[in-house]
Amino acid sequence: MKAPLVSIIIPIYNREYFIGETLDSVLAQTYTNWECIVVDDGSIDNTPELVEAYCRMDTRFKYFERPKGQQKGGNASRNYGFEVSKGDYVNWFDSDDIMLNYFIEKKIQLLNSKKIKAVICSGFYTDSKLNILRPTRYFNEGNLFKEFTLRKADVLTPSVLFKKEALNSLELFNVGLTDAQETDFFHRFLFNLKSDEYEFIDEKLFLYRKHSDSIGSLKIGNYHFKNRFSQAYVEFENLKRVINIGDKEMIGFIYKALLGLLFLAMDNEDKNNYNFILNGIRSYYKDIGVLKYVILICYLKVTLNINIRSFRLEKMLRK
């Protein structure tokens, strides 16, 4: 029986200093029946020439440019890569991360049931020079959606090998988001995923690079207005799901995350975001007295410019 084709999809933008290491790690895979689809989001450095050199060296590499009619961004590039992929299985990957040699093979070995829709592995967070910082977090098998929502389980872009047919009816990456797009996608995918529809392998099979050029770095330091709005949007979308479930722990966790984003928006005079969050909180919690009081304090401060702020209350809510 022929080994199934695995489509590795890599969106890319100005990655000339990292893409060679990433593509070399793909070449080094012990599992050989793969195609690596690289979708360029409009690079203006030497990235296209570097990727095209790999395409000439090995025909399993395929280079595409994001169609000009599609919205710019990594989300559209990921989605387009899926459209042109030919594999039975799909693994999105980032253009600065590294696959360890058994990354694909170990996952394929667990696809031993027709029910299985995804195989998830762990890995290491590293710095820009690939020095290991810490492993990704392991989770207890069971309610993976809850573990992911409570941030007890790290499910990252490289983590998951998907059965392609399991994604055909699912909206992929939201092109309107500038941050938390992977979180949004995994919330939607994991929400309906049953415990017998995935396998987890607790082996460190990839290196996830964190550096100053990554989108995630914008969460620390300088306030990024569009990214913070995207984060709030994703939290509210997931809040709708957990309210339907009625899980108080998840509801409380998301509410605290939204309050944290609200206070950040207030601190940075991000009127668009704090109005969005305030209106959202009001719509869900309008009948709860204590939250009316909290919202009133926030409203007085941010809309009437009254310097009324309970630091004791804020400290309690940030916990």
- Per-residue model confidence as pLDDT tens digits over 65-79: 999 888 888 999 999
Backbone CA torsion sign across 180, 34, 123, 215: negative
Chain CA centroid to CA 34, Å: 23
pLDDT at 138: 81
pLDDT at 283: 75
pLDDT at 90: 97
Rounded CA Rg of the chain: 21
CB proximity list for 168: less than 8 A, separation 6 or greater: none
Q: What is the mean pLDDT of the chain?
A: 86
For residue 26, what are its two tokens?
């793909």
pTM, to two decimals: 0.87
Model confidence at 211, pLDDT cuts 50, 70, 90, reads low
Beta-carbon count within 10 A of 120 CB: 23
pLDDT tens per residue, range 168-194:
889 999 999 999 999 999 999 999 999
Residue 105 reports pLDDT greater than 70: yes
Residue 310 reports pLDDT greater than 80: no
pLDDT tens per residue, range 254-288:
988 988 898 888 888 898 998 898 888 777 765 44
End-to-end CA distance of the chain: 54
Distance between CA atoms of 150 and 15, rounded to whole angstroms? 32
Describe the chain by its helix, strand, coil percentages, rounded to 5.
45, 15, 35
Q: Give φ, ψ of 305 to 5 degrees.
A: 55, 35
pLDDT at 4: 94
Residue with more model confidence, 140 or 24: 24
The count of residues in the chain is 319
Distance between CA atoms of 103 and 12, rounded to whole angstroms? 20
Most confident of 109-113, 141-145, 233-237: 233-237
Residue with more model confidence, 139 or 17: 17
The mean pLDDT value for 78-103 works out to 97
pLDDT at 206: 98
pLDDT tens per residue, range 11-51:
999 998 999 999 999 999 999 999 999 999 999 999 999 99
Share of the chain above pLDDT 70, in %: 85
Residue 301 reports pLDDT greater than 60: no
Distance between CA atoms of 96 and 12, rounded to whole angstroms? 9
Residue linked to tokens 């049953």: 194
pLDDT at 309: 46
Model confidence at 218, pLDDT cuts 50, 70, 90, reads very low
pLDDT at 313: 45
The mean pLDDT value for 239-247 works out to 91
The mean pLDDT value for 290-294 works out to 51
Residue 205 reports pLDDT greater than 80: yes
pLDDT at 139: 76
CB proximity list for 43: less than 8 A, separation 6 or greater: 12, 13, 14, 15, 16
Distance between CA atoms of 256 and 318, rounded to whole angstroms? 7
Q: Which helix (H) or strand (E) holds 266?
A: helix 248-267
Distance between CA atoms of 51 and 279, rounded to whole angstroms? 46
Residue 159 reports pLDDT greater than 60: yes
pLDDT at 274: 83
Model confidence at 212, pLDDT cuts 50, 70, 90, reads low
Distance between CA atoms of 69 and 84, rounded to whole angstroms? 16
Distance between CA atoms of 171 and 184, rounded to whole angstroms? 10
Residue linked to tokens 């199934």: 4
> Are the beta carbons of 135 and 203 closer than 8 angstroms?
no
Residue 150 reports pLDDT greater than 90: yes
pLDDT at 312: 47
Q: What is the CATH superfamily name and number for domain 6-217?
A: Spore Coat Polysaccharide Biosynthesis Protein SpsA; Chain A (3.90.550.10)
Beta strands in 50-117 (DSSP E): 61-65, 89-92, 98-99
Smallest Cα–Cα separation from 9: which of 28, 34, 27?
34
Smallest Cα–Cα separation from 155: which of 127, 119, 129?
119
Domain boundaries, the chain: 6-217, 221-318
For residue 212, what are its two tokens?
């100053």
